[in-house]
Structure 1
């Protein structure tokens, strides 16, 4: 009896430890209030398995119970319903709202609660479900598939990137890359053919240019003494010209002074002539009278000359009265 009692006590203790391990370390929580929900995904759910965590902004609020496949023969679409168990006991209300009650999952969905699948670990490739509020995301429900509480899903950034990558025209990109590589290869072959002659031509041009530079340098060295003497002669010529200009400056100044005095005198003479030729001037009247007398004398002299020409004896005998 003592041995049987010990064995029974040992078995009961082991069962108790096993139950305690399930309660404290496993997903079996007999004293915790839970709520079932379903999330329907249309894309791939790689890495999502039973027991995967369901988190809200990093805090675990549930776990995955089952992952299934629902096929619609009418639309030929495959849906991935994920059944989860939510633990509302992990959510508490603020102190200012102590009299209110926790909202249900349906109320949270109405407020914009959405689910998305994200990669949990890049090393293991496991995934998890993240919950957050996204009121701008449309709430797409599936009443034909889900009979209980459904949390709408939205596309995660990783899924969007994956979708964009899968929609990339990989074949066209590969063809373009091959064409680009062929063009680069043709260009490389052409450069291999054309570069040696071009390099040789550049080398010859460089050598010729070096010879020209050396020749120019030698010519400059030869011409440098002559250029120096020419510059010295130019300096002496400039100095001599400056001295001559200084010496002739006084003569030019006196010449300009005399010319200025002459111009003044000419101006005065012109003024006198102008005053003499004025219509109201007495000198002009006398001059006009003298001109008339001279004209009369010239007319008489012309008549006498004509008479002498007809009768030369007038010079000897004169005119008879």
Structure 2
């Protein structure tokens, strides 16, 4: 009897440990409020399985319950609805300092979106990440989802995969092949032409070295002559400076005399201008003298005419 009680107690204790393990380490939370939701993906869902975590910015808020394939033979489209169990009690909305626990519909209206990301590169498992993205349009599938649907968005890995798929890999390969062929032809041409080019460079270097040596020898030979020429030029510059200083004093004296002569000429011109002025007394006297001279010349001309007619007038003179 004691043994049966001991076995029963052992079984009950093991059952309690198993339940506690499920509660603490598993996805079984009997005392938490849960809600069902579905996310509809239009691409591959490799690595996603039942029990995969559903996280919100790294915090687990649920788990995957079921993964289904919905195929439409009319449109030839295949959709993958992923049914999840959410624990919205882990998310609290703040509104006017009043905290309340939202429903999944409230979260979707606030912009909750889901995307599928790779959880581990080693195992290849995936998970569903939730985040608020109100700017992402909410694409719903009412013909597939019969419970609350969380709209999905394109993940970073899917965007990278699509970008890689859109790359013109064939054209890139052809361009790479053409580039490699051009490089090969260039390498072959360099193999043919490079030795001759190197030899030409060596010859040019030798000629350049000879020219440098000749120029150095020429400069060495011309250095005494250039030094003597520079000394002569220096001496000529000193002599010219001394002569310019000596002639400078003479030129200064000549300029002073020229200035005095110009001033005297200016005075003479002023006097001449005053004599030729219409109102000048000297001009009136000069005009009177000119008139007297003209009268004397006229009388002399008349006397000469009389003498020419009667030469005896020189001896007898004019009689009254």
**Normalising to structure 1: TM-score of the pair?**
0.78
Give ranges in structure 1 of 5+ residues lacking alignment. none
| 74-83 vs 188-197, which moves further | 188-197
CA contact (8 A) 2:34 2:87 kept: yes
Using a 3 Å threshold, how does the CA distance of structure 1 residues 249 and 107 change in structure 2: closer, same or farther?
closer
Aligned to 1:131: 130
Residue 79 of structure 1 and its aligned partner are, at CA, apart by 0.7
Structure 1 pair 264–50 and aligned structure 2 pair: CA distance change class (3 A): closer
Equivalent residues of 2:54, 2:127 under 8 A apart: yes
Name the structure 1 match of 2:216.
Answer: 217
Give a deviation string over 1:105-131, Cα, whole Å, max 9, x none: 233323322221111112221111112
TM-aligned CA distance change 1:144 to 1:314, over 3 Å: same
SS of residue in 2 equivalent to 1:152: coil
Q: CA deviation at 1:78?
A: 0.5
Other-structure match for 1:68: 68
State how far apart, in whole Å, the 1-side matches of 2:10 and 2:86 are: 33
CA RMSD between the two structures: 3.8
Q: 3-state SS of the aligned residue for 1:66?
A: strand
Deviates more, 1:5-14 or 1:236-245: 5-14
Shift, 1:80, TM fit? 0.8
Alignment of 1:99-114 (within 5 A): 102-114=101-113
TM-score by length of 2: 0.78
CA separation of 1:131 and 1:279: change in aligned 2, threshold 3 A: closer
The residue that corresponds to 1:158 in the other structure is: 157
SS in 1 for 2:129: strand
How far, CA to CA, are the matches of 2:91 and 2:263 in structure 1?
122
What whole-Å deviation, never above 9, does each CA across 1:47-93 have from its counterpart, x for those lacking one? 11121111222222221122221110011000111122223455578
Alignment partner of 1:83: what SS? strand
| In 2: Cα distance, 1:26 partner to 1:281 partner | 140
Q: 1:289 to 1:200 in 2, by over 3 A?
A: farther
Q: Does 1:83 align with 2:86?
A: no
Q: Does 1:170 align with 2:173?
A: no
User: Which runs of 5 or more residues in structure 2 are unaligned?
Assistant: none
SS at match of 2:120: coil
Match of 2:237 in 1: 238
State how far apart, in whole Å, the 1-side matches of 2:198 and 2:218 are.
Answer: 30
CA positional deviation for 1:299: 5.9
Q: Following TM superposition, by how much is the alpha carbon of 1:286 offset from its aligned partner in structure 2, in angstroms?
A: 4.1
Question: 1:240-278, CA deviations, whole angstroms, 9 ceiling, x for partnerless residues?
Answer: 233333333444344334333333443443344334333
How big is each residue's C-alpha offset from its partner over 1:195-215, in whole Å with a ceiling of 9 and x where there is no partner? 444444444444433333333
Verify: 1:48 aligned to 2:74, yes or no: no
More divergent stretch after superposition (251-260 vs 52-61)? 251-260
Q: Bigger shift: 108-117 or 251-260? A: 251-260
